[in-house]
Amino acid sequence: MRQLLILSLSVLALAACEREDREYRANPVTSETEEKIALSPLSAGPSGPTEQRSGLGQQYEENAYHIAQGKRLYIWFNCNGCHAHGGGDSGPPLLDDRWIYGGQIENIVQTIREGRPNGMPSFRGKVPDDQIWQIAAYVRSMGRNVPKPAAPGRNDDMHPGPAEQRRPPGEVMDGGQIPPAAQMPQ
Amino acid sequence: MRRIAPALLLLCLPLGGCQHWQSVLNARGPAASTLAHMFWIFVSVLATVWVLTMIALLLALRRRRPEDADPLATNPTTERRMTITISVAIGLTLLTVISLTGLSYAAQKVLFAHKDGALTLLVTGQQWWWKITYEDSQPNRVFTTANEIHIPVGEPVLIKLESSDVIHSFWVPSLTGKMDAITGRQNQIQIQADRPGIYRGQCAEYCGLQHAHMGLIVVAESKEDFERWREQQISSAIPPGDEERQRGMEIFMSKPCIMCHQIRGTDAGGKIAPDLTHVGSRRYIAAGTLETTRGNIAAWIVDPHGVKPGVNMPTIQLEPDEVQPLASYLEGLK
């Protein structure tokens, strides 16, 4: 009798098993989220800049499916044409901790959506919003700024450097310094 | 008996499925015929062996040993008869195994014998559709389509198989056996259709969420029809004729569609999703999932994940009055 009790209790524990939620179907009527993000910690007056995050970024950053889709889209939309596999080429590197326009996921989404001077095109209206978030989540995973279990694993094809999952976790410098590559018009 | 008969009839029902356009038993090409012959030879030989064994077993069960017999007593005549019976049985078993093995090897020789053909196709398996490129020595006659292969009847067609993401397997049961499409290498298989018709193919290696919806069709037609089809596929898309389709084209060009899809003759040049230059001329959309009708095209654009959950086509934002022009533009791309 006691065995049966223990058995049924341990079956109950299975209820705690939760699979990662994969959201395939983006809401077709959602509009862009209103994120208030500062590019620099500097602001006038004694208090820092006011920021307001919708929390969507965290959802994307902690979801292995979204990051893996972002990795696929990164190649499909030719991000590697300028940024290579994160090491940078004619575009700035994405692996390091220097961010010209901020390294938070909300900053990266804004950079992809709006474009930036000296070459970064705007993808608003060309890449659906949920895919922009996915790409930004993947960019965050390049320097391993996402949780280890969510970062992509080994590649099927040849890839420079270790898989995102095996990279040491990075620290983002908000605002960041401007690398020489970005100071001069190109 | 009264119960067995309906059960047997029910068991026979699935056989009705064997006559359709995607069946190994409905062989329409040399390779598939070889395979079908092999299947029937193996089934008949092995069924005979099974029936004989069962009869022998039943006889042995029915025949009882006499009550007063001494189990250790030996009789030279019986001993000799037993030796002969067992030797014959072993000999027959060896003969069956060896001849069936030989037959399989001979069939493989036939299956993988390459004949020279005029037509070469590059088929790339992708999650979850087939990209089909008709090769030609003249670069301006090379064209790309998706999920629908046309071949002339009676001619061997070489298919080069590649994959861009995971392992897929190309399988058109009525024409040939399976061949895997593997990343980083190229496999080859030859198909030939002896009779005109439409044959369905299917990815035969589990490749992810929508593996089941990764179909293709092979249309075998006369040489003239094939050449007409090829000329039409090589040509660029016809510009829209009426106002509604003109608007549809403008919507297509201003939306994320162009990031992935190509329509030759327009500014849309994406190469990571099916080529839509002649999408209206294809029988199915979404890799054999939906018939090509205006309604299905609209349904697919508005909610691809309702049809194929997890598919790589994103949900894009459209105004309600944009759906109809867009669908009729795409339907009109014959």
Is the residue at A1 inside a domain? no
Residue A174 pLDDT exceeds 60: no
Q: How close B180 gets to chain A, by Cα (Å)?
A: 16
Give the CA-trace dihedral at A105, A106, A111, A113, to 10 degrees.
110
Distances in Å between the Cα of A124 and the Cα atoms of A25, A121, B145, B213 are 19, 9, 29, 31
Kindly report, residue by residue over A38-74, the tens digit of the pLDDT. 777 777 777 777 778 888 888 899 999 999 999 999 9
CATH code of B21-51+80-222, in short, is 2.60.40.420
Q: How many Cα atoms sit within 13 Å of B62 on the Cβ side?
A: 6
Residue B262 pLDDT exceeds 70: yes
Q: Report the domain count for chain A.
A: 1
Q: Do B305 and A24 touch (CB under 8 A)?
A: yes
Q: Do domains B21-51+80-222 and B243-331 have the same CATH topology?
A: yes
- Give domain B243-331's CATH number out of 3.40.30.10, 3.40.50.10300, 3.30.160.100, 2.60.40.420: 2.60.40.420
- The helix or strand, by DSSP H or E, that contains position B8, with its residue range, turns out to be helix B4-12
Q: Of B261, B316, B318, B322, which to mutate for an interface test with A (greatest number of A Cβ within 10 Å)?
A: B316
- The helix or strand, by DSSP H or E, that contains position B179, with its residue range, turns out to be strand B179-181
Is the residue at A47 inside a domain? no
CB pairs under 8 A between A and B: 46
Confidence tier at A179 by pLDDT (50, 70, 90)? low
Question: Which residues in chain A touch residue B162, judged by CB atoms under 8 angstroms apart?
Answer: none
Domain assignment of residue A123, given as a range: 52-179
Q: How close B53 gets to chain A, by Cα (Å)?
A: 47
pLDDT of residue B147: 94
SS3 for A104? coil
Evaluate whether ipTM surpasses 0.85. no
Kindly report, residue by residue over A115-143, the tens digit of the pLDDT. 998 889 999 889 998 899 999 999 999 88
Is the residue at A101 inside a domain? yes
pLDDT of residue A186: 41
The pair of three-digit structure tokens given for residue B21, joined into one six-digit string: 């356009």
Among A31-35, A107-111, A129-133, B111-115, where is mean pLDDT lowest?
Answer: A31-35
Nearest CA in chain B to A76: B272
What's A98's domain CATH number?
Answer: 1.10.760.10
Residue B9 pLDDT exceeds 90: no
pLDDT of residue A166: 85
- Yes or no: say if B277 and B311 are a contact pair by the CB < 8 Å rule: no
pLDDT of residue A111: 92
Q: Do A22 and B310 touch (CB under 8 A)?
A: yes
What percent of chain B has a predicted confidence (pLDDT) above 90? Answer: 74
Q: How close A47 gets to chain B, by Cα (Å)?
A: 39
- Yes or no: say if B334 and B238 are a contact pair by the CB < 8 Å rule: yes
Residue A175 pLDDT exceeds 60: no
Hey, where are the domains in chain B? 21-51+80-222, 243-331
Residue type, A172: V
Entry field: residues in chain B: 334
Higher pLDDT residue, A186 or A118? Answer: A118
Residue B171 pLDDT exceeds 50: yes
Confidence tier at B191 by pLDDT (50, 70, 90)? very high
Among A46-50, B138-142, B198-202, where is mean pLDDT lowest?
Answer: A46-50
Kindly report, residue by residue over B32-59, the tens digit of the pLDDT. 999 999 999 999 999 999 999 999 999 9
Contacts of B39 (CB under 8 A, 6+ apart): B24, B25
Is the residue at A13 inside a domain? no
Confidence tier at A183 by pLDDT (50, 70, 90)? low
Average pLDDT of the residues in B224-246: 93
Kindly report, residue by residue over B86-108, the tens digit of the pLDDT. 999 999 999 999 999 999 999 98
